[in-house]
Amino acid sequence: MKFKRKLLTLFLGIGLIGVSISGAYDDWTDDVVCMWLDMRPTNEGYKAEVQKRGIGCEGGKAVAGAAQTNKTTSTNKKTTASQRASSSVDKEIKIYDVAFSPEVLEELLNLVVIPTDYDFSKHQLAKNIKDIGCRFSMTRIQYDVVEEGQIQGWNIADGNINIKGSNVEFGKRARWYMHGLSTDPSYFRDEVNLRLTENGHLVGKMAFFLLTTSQGELPRNPQYPTFSEHKRSTPIDLSNINNVSAKLFIDVEDWAGAVMYVSSCKYQ
């Protein structure tokens, strides 16, 4: 019994001490709390009271909003650090505007896009069992003189063509007469993508030299006009190969184009 009384007395004493201490903090002003914290900065009770009240202490005095200021300062420091990092990254990225001349731009585009690409799916192509060989010639036609066009009396190209199924190839004797780059025979061999339709038209794209390059002038790059089922054309008569006399119109520019004559065809 005496032991129990001693334990009860001990517990009551501890409780009274806790109440006494708690009551003391509650009665203290903010300045008093800061004063004691200034004198005993390592005291956990004073530090906890300051934190609970959300105040700041400077020189033993309470500073209103100091805790909030500290938080804001910390946030601002983080923001500033982030901005500096972003600014550092931005300084490493530089964008410059580059202006290309039309000639250079055209060459760059030609490196990416094959200029003779053409979609033949919209046409009904010929299905010839036998290969056909024909003669051809091309003459320039100008529309800046008369509306229907004025056909000039000299050839810009001539030679032979071979038709295999619907594929159209130019033979070894095909040549341009426009000088400059047109004298390179590879244009007729490597930059032609033409097909023959079942109604006798040539469709597709190919390297084309509409203008003559005179001596001393800069080389003229070829154009790549689209061969279409032109409404003015007289197509190749596949039902009468031995008597073909075709006249195919080719639109190149607003002011001029060409007329391609196909004749002397025979099975090979």
Q: Locate the domains of the chain by residue range.
A: 2-64, 132-267
3-state DSSP call for residue 10? helix
**Residue 36, pLDDT score:** 84
Residue by residue, pLDDT tens for the chain (268 residues) are 444 444 444 444 444 444 444 455 677 888 888 888 888 888 888 888 888 888 889 888 888 655 444 444 455 555 555 555 555 555 566 677 777 788 787 777 666 678 999 999 999 999 988 999 999 999 999 999 898 999 999 999 999 999 999 999 999 999 999 999 999 999 999 999 999 999 999 999 999 999 999 988 999 999 999 999 999 999 999 999 999 999 999 999 999 999 999 999 999 8
**Residue 15, pLDDT score:** 46
Paired tokens of 23: 């009551």
**Residue 85, pLDDT score:** 52
User: If residue 194 lies in a helix (H) or strand (E), which one and from where to where?
Assistant: strand 192-196
Secondary structure (DSSP) of 85-131? HHHHHHHH---------HHHHHHHHHHHS-TT----TTS-B---SS-
**Quick check: 167 and 128 in contact, CB under 8 A?**
no
**Residue 10, pLDDT score:** 45
State the Cα–Cα distance between residues 1 and 200, nearest whole angstrom.
Answer: 127
State the Cα–Cα distance between residues 152 and 212, nearest whole angstrom.
Answer: 14
Q: For the whole model, what pTM was predicted?
A: 0.59
What are the distances in angstroms from CA 220 to CA 61, 100, 208, 217? 89, 18, 11, 9
**Residue 143, pLDDT score:** 96
State the Cα–Cα distance between residues 129 and 29, nearest whole angstrom.
Answer: 110
Paired tokens of 192: 């032609």
